[in-house]
Amino acid sequence: MRHPTSRLSLILLGSGVFLLVLTQLLAWYVEPRAKRTPTDVNSTTVFSGKGSYFDTGSVSTVDGQTITITRRVLGDVAGSERSGKAIWDVSTQIDTPKTLPLADPRRSLQWTTERWVTDRRTNLPVRCCEEKPRFEGEAYLKFPFDVEKRGYTWWDSTLGAAVPLKFKGTTTIRGHQGYLFAGTVAPTATGTRQVPGALVDRPQSQVLAEEWYSNAGIELTVDQRTGRIMNAVIAPTKTLRAPGSKKDAVTLLSSKRLEFTEATRREQVTLAADDGSRLKLLGETAPVVGGIAGGLLAAAGVVMVIRGRRQAAEHSEE
């Protein structure tokens, strides 16, 4: 007759082994595959701050105005599923107090549309799927997962090139700790624009003025686990120069500090915390707790099996 503890011991042993295998699957298979850039993203981030801009109505630069940058990101789910990449369509508009109430990007101070294609695991750019523009670097709308304490290259669309950012330590945004990265962009020629010669102090009726861009301070606070940017600060300046000149003639846009609004920071921190908690559960909490519980159950099952066999042997000898 089977010893009464044998069924329980086998249940404990089987449950323990199952938990040990499951926790290994979570740590080595499920969690790494959860670290994938989402394809169904639908988000809006807003920068705001005081600055100057060129008003075409008065044909002059207006100072001390509120500048608003609104960036909308919509994932191309169908395209992402076909390609296996993360495809995001991005709309960025810069508004002044005059254009912001119009709620029409076509009437904003500046409106650009882009299509970003990245590897869902590494966050590196991928050349496919009507990518626009052709960009480089390790970070743009987000950083890679598991951000390290080192320098990163961040793509600046206005510059049309990657900017090196240095790791500056840790900081806290709304109680959530993140890594701070910072960098600058020296004045750089980025293109030309046909304008009236008088605008840049030239006698010709029309000239190809040079467009120049600089950024006095880029500061990005990033969630370490997810790579999500929780807060961003930029200080852009865009100017026009007469052909060959070394001096700015017109300020098109300038601000010493444009920063995520409070609402944007709150949303980004919440998303980072939620996504980070899920990744921690899959990669750390569940494997550790499950491993301990599985080990204890398996050990208890083994002990009961051995004890049951000994007792059975003793009964047979009697």
Q: Is residue 48 part of a domain?
A: yes
Determine the angle formed by the axes of helices 286-317 and 6-25, rounding to 10 degrees.
160
pLDDT tier, 19 (very low <50, low <70, confident <90, very high otherwise): very low
Sequence-separated (6 or more) residues with CB below 8 Å from residue 16: 293, 294, 295, 296, 297, 298, 299, 300, 301
Residues 102 and 184 reside in one and the same domain: yes
Q: Is residue 273 part of a domain?
A: no
Q: Closest Cα partner for 76 from 66, 88, 64, 67?
A: 88
- Please state the rounded mean pLDDT for residues 123-131: 94
Residues 299 and 251 reside in one and the same domain: no
Q: What share of the chain is helix, strand, coil (3-state, %, to 5)?
A: 30, 40, 25
Range of the domain at 255: 35-260
- Please state the rounded mean pLDDT for residues 229-257: 97
**With contact defined as beta carbons under 8 Å apart, do 186 and 163 qualify?**
no
How would DSSP label each residue in 26-75?
IIIIIHHHH-S--SS-EEEEEEEEEEEEEETTTTEEEEEEEEEEEEEEEE
Sequence-separated (6 or more) residues with CB below 8 Å from residue 149: 167, 179
pLDDT for residue 36: 81
pLDDT tier, 165 (very low <50, low <70, confident <90, very high otherwise): very high
Residues 142 and 176 reside in one and the same domain: yes
Which comes out higher in pLDDT, residue 308 or 78? 78
Domain count, the chain: 2
pLDDT tier, 136 (very low <50, low <70, confident <90, very high otherwise): very high
pLDDT tier, 1 (very low <50, low <70, confident <90, very high otherwise): very low
Give the pLDDT confidence of 93-104 residue by residue, as tens digits: 999 999 999 988
Residues 150 and 299 reside in one and the same domain: no
Q: Is residue 169 part of a domain?
A: yes
Q: Is residue 303 part of a domain?
A: yes
Residues 186 and 308 reside in one and the same domain: no
pLDDT for residue 279: 66
- Please state the rounded mean pLDDT for residues 102-116: 93
Lowest mean pLDDT, pick from 108-112, 201-205, 273-277: 273-277
Residues 51 and 135 reside in one and the same domain: yes
Give the pLDDT confidence of 172-212 residue by residue, as tens digits: 999 999 999 999 999 999 999 999 999 999 999 999 999 99
Helix (H, G, I), strand (E, B) or coil at 243: coil
Residues 147 and 113 reside in one and the same domain: yes
The label of the residue with tokens 């523009």 reads: 133
Q: Is residue 89 part of a domain?
A: yes
Percent of the chain scoring above 70 in pLDDT: 76
Within 10 Å of residue 172's Cβ, how many Cβ atoms?
12
pLDDT tier, 38 (very low <50, low <70, confident <90, very high otherwise): confident
**With contact defined as beta carbons under 8 Å apart, do 33 and 296 qualify?**
no
Residues 296 and 186 reside in one and the same domain: no
Residues 109 and 239 reside in one and the same domain: yes
| Boundary-marking domain end, from 260, 292, 309 | 260
Whether residue 284 has pLDDT greater than 80: no
Within 10 Å of residue 43's Cβ, how many Cβ atoms?
16
- Please state the rounded mean pLDDT for residues 80-107: 94
Whether residue 299 has pLDDT greater than 70: no
- Please state the rounded mean pLDDT for residues 235-259: 96
Residues 24 and 39 reside in one and the same domain: no
**With contact defined as beta carbons under 8 Å apart, do 211 and 191 qualify?**
yes
Whether residue 236 has pLDDT greater than 80: yes
Residues 23 and 61 reside in one and the same domain: no
pLDDT tier, 125 (very low <50, low <70, confident <90, very high otherwise): very high
Residues 96 and 25 reside in one and the same domain: no
- Residue 100 tokens read as 């912001």
Q: Closest Cα partner for 73 from 141, 133, 121?
A: 141
Q: How many helices (H) and strands (E) does the chain have?
A: 5, 12
Q: Is residue 63 part of a domain?
A: yes
pLDDT tier, 278 (very low <50, low <70, confident <90, very high otherwise): confident
Q: Is residue 270 part of a domain?
A: no
Q: Is residue 183 part of a domain?
A: yes
CA–CA distance from 111 to each of 68, 72, 89, 260, 309 (Å)?
A: 12, 11, 14, 18, 78
